[in-house]
Structure 1
Amino acid sequence: MTRRSHAQDAATKAELAPTGTLRVGLVEAPSAGLIFVSRAADGRLDGVTTDLSADLARYVDLLPAVTLFPNLGGAATALQAAAIDVSFMPIDATRRQVIDFGPTYYDLESTYLASAGSGITDVARVDRTGLRVVAIEDTTTFRAATRTLTRTQLIPVPSVAEAVARMRAGQADAFALSRDTLRPVVAQIPVSRIVAGGFQHMQVAVAVPKGRPAALACVTAWLDGAKRTGAVRRIFDARGFRDDAVAP
């Protein structure tokens, strides 16, 4: 392996974190998951991407500064504008045009959480006239639901918290989101269930602003190494996701 010079390391840091601090964009939700984070009782952030961010900050020897967003669309917009330096999000064609993605760490499935009275038991039964489906605006899940639903009313909401509130209030029949994120939501909506099947399969990856090749190479080397050494697996396990596979 070729040893990097101090100048090369300094140049990479300057491109990855121009302000001298690693500005990380994470997305907040009522429950933590493999993408979303939540606040623990002591105020600290809880979630897989919290730990991934901390591991990356240690790898590059920079202090992290976390900005929380209500949805992935907001984080993607901030990344495109270089208002943050790194984030974690599903890859889709729309985002590839404006930001760069490094390695993936998780393969997600988008599906639906259905209310007890909706009669929905699988994905095929969601697309029916009169049903109200909520999804977080400007996300890969929202765009996929828009493409696949032709008879159902799709309602954009700004956050997971808003979607949960509408489901609890009886203002929506189903909530479109990734299966891993929906699992803890079930307990927050009485007699709800996650339906069988999915309507989208996506890869979740580390992302940086476009035009930063050294930064992209740096986060690529970090995440590839973290997967190879088992660090990502340990983070999954510690956060309660022992049954979820790390992307190869």
Structure 2
Amino acid sequence: MTHFNEAILAELAPKGPLRAAINLGNAALARKRDDGTLEGISPDLARELARQTGRELETIVYEGAGKAFADAQNDVWDVAFLAVDESRAQKIDYTPAYVEIEATYAVRSDAPFQEMEQLDVPHAKILVAQNSAYDLYLSTELEAAEIVRAETPAASLDQFDRGGHDAVAGVRQTLEARYGGRDDIHILPGSITSIYQAMCVPKGRPAALEALTSFVEDAKRSGFVHERLEANGNGTLKIAPAAK
């Protein structure tokens, strides 16, 4: 178990409570129950961190990763759960990843695009959640298709349902939860990119980052991550490998 001394806690929870940003953009990682409480591996890790540090947990909920990242330098949260992306490294520092997830596309079954490579053509419109990991990736990889950005992952799916777009990008589990079993929607095989989900802290908290790195590695090694993924019905998610 990671040791959290006073010097570490001064960086990790400087206001007293442990303020954890929870991103609801991927239901496989975090979601609200009917009673308003949170479930998923990300809130489970936040609760376990609060238990080990002895600090009260204060959760700040965001509907998408972009909004959580936008608050990184606003003294709103102390730890967050976001996809690793180097373009964000000027404002936050990441631990090693705790899970690896896959992004893909959903298209209409009668669309001419039934393979990923077919979508990168002029006039193709692809919906994404703004500032999501797959938005950041596709922004550098697509050469011809038009990227249309919605405010949150849920908003991108709603826009796709209303028509006028050729595909919507998203985390595979989220797309399957929305469209699985529907004959009119096809979730493409393969992967746009692998997304590595990690904990992070605002830039300039080296002691907190080192302690969180140890915490994440302990959570993977001890079986905590595996146990909580199974308990939340997300056992198909891949646990990230140990850091080198």
| Both proteins in one fold, TM over 0.5 | yes
Q: How many Å apart are 1:88 and its aligned residue?
A: 1.1
Give every structure 1 segment of 4 or more consecutive aligned residues whose post-TM-superposition deviation is greater than 6 Å.
none
For residues 231 and 73 of structure 1, do their structure 2 counterparts lie closer, same or farther at Cα, with a shift above 3 Å needed?
A: same
Match of 2:45 among 42, 49, 52: 52
Identify the residue that residue 117 of structure 2 maps to in structure 1: 124
Partners in 2 of 1:171 and 1:48 — Cα distance?
Answer: 35
Match of 1:10 among 3, 6, 9: 6
Write out per-residue CA displacement over residues 165-221 of structure 1, whole angstroms, 9 at most, x where no aligned residue: 111111322111222332212249762222122222232111011111111122112
Partners in 2 of 1:50 and 1:122 — Cα distance?
Answer: 35
2:55 aligned with 1:62, yes or no? yes
Partners in 2 of 1:166 and 1:215 — Cα distance?
Answer: 39
Partners in 2 of 1:183 and 1:21 — Cα distance?
Answer: 36
Match of 1:43 among 33, 36, 43: 36
Identify the residue that residue 16 of structure 2 maps to in structure 1: 20
Identify the residue that residue 159 of structure 1 maps to in structure 2: 152
Give yes or no for contact 2:40–2:228 (8 Å, CA) kept in 1: no
Write out per-residue CA displacement over residues 137-190 of structure 1, whole angstroms, 9 at most, x where no aligned residue: 122211211222222221011011211111111132211122233221224976
SS of the equivalent of 1:118 reads coil
Q: How many residues align?
A: 241
Task: Give 5+ residue unaligned stretches, structure 1.
Answer: none
Match of 1:227 among 204, 220, 223: 220
Identify the residue that residue 66 of structure 2 maps to in structure 1: 73
Partners in 2 of 1:165 and 1:117 — Cα distance?
Answer: 19
Identify the residue that residue 214 of structure 1 maps to in structure 2: 207
Give yes or no for contact 2:139–2:147 (8 Å, CA) kept in 1: yes
Partners in 1 of 2:84 and 2:75 — Cα distance?
Answer: 18
Partners in 1 of 2:111 and 2:31 — Cα distance?
Answer: 29
Give yes or no for contact 1:148–1:199 (8 Å, CA) kept in 2: no
Aligned alpha-carbon RMSD (Å): 2.2
Partners in 1 of 2:60 and 2:50 — Cα distance?
Answer: 14
Partners in 1 of 2:105 and 2:200 — Cα distance?
Answer: 26
Partners in 2 of 1:112 and 1:74 — Cα distance?
Answer: 22
Write out per-residue CA displacement over residues 35-55 of structure 1, whole angstroms, 9 at most, x where no aligned residue: xx2221222223221111111
1:89-100 to structure 2, matched below 5 A, reads: 89-100=82-93
The alignment-based identity, stated in percent, is 29
SS of the equivalent of 2:198 reads strand
For residues 114 and 224 of structure 1, do their structure 2 counterparts lie closer, same or farther at Cα, with a shift above 3 Å needed?
A: same
2:162 aligned with 1:169, yes or no? yes
Partners in 2 of 1:23 and 1:186 — Cα distance?
Answer: 34
Give yes or no for contact 1:23–1:84 (8 Å, CA) kept in 2: yes
